[in-house]
Amino acid sequence: MGQIEWAMWANEQALASGLILVAGGIVATVGRFAQWYFGAYSIAAGALVCLLEYPRGRRRKGSTMERCGQKYVAAAVKLFGPLTRNYYVRAVLHLLLSVPAGFLLATILGTVCLAIASVIYLLVSGALTVAGMSPALSLALVAGSEGGACWELCVPGGHSW
């Protein structure tokens, strides 16, 4: 197993987070929680995240299957301009959208998942480095000998930490 494509992983993570936010928001709003308005916010924020993340990006190598109806949603997302294509902007947007949803138990799972997607987008954009090391440092998912997986920090020279 080779290098993982972090941008695609961030896209899948954010899309799942948006769906989880919508589900938690529906539970909070229909269940008439004490702070149900955070549930209503989570529905709107989750729908926005799903709209932005539904179009799947292209892979560096190989082929990518489009999602059903992706070309129509991609046309709508392109109206937002370069803001939707910049990973750093997406990371900040996802992080800001996740904060208000964290005040309600029904939406906390979506909040945590969206914050994780934000961190992955920060890794992809190069804005986040590990322990102050150079931006050339990248995370790689390396298959273990037993068929499992383990995390390693790899530098382009082939050295692992």
- Report pLDDT for 116: 94
**Nearest one of 111, 80, 77, 69 to 94, comparing CA atoms:** 111
Q: What are the tokens at 43?
A: 């529905």
Region of residue 95 (left: phi > 0; alpha: psi -120 to 50; beta: else): alpha
What is the per-residue pLDDT across 128-142, written as a single tens digit (0 to 9) for each? 655 554 444 444 332
- Report pLDDT for 46: 95
What is the per-residue pLDDT across 1-57, written as a single tens digit (0 to 9) for each? 456 677 788 888 999 999 999 999 999 999 999 999 999 999 999 999 988 887 766
- Report pLDDT for 64: 64
In angstroms, the CA 42 to CA 138 distance is: 32
For the chain, the average pLDDT equals 75
Q: Which helix (H) or strand (E) holds 86?
A: none
What's the average model confidence in pLDDT over 64-87?
A: 72
- Report pLDDT for 44: 96
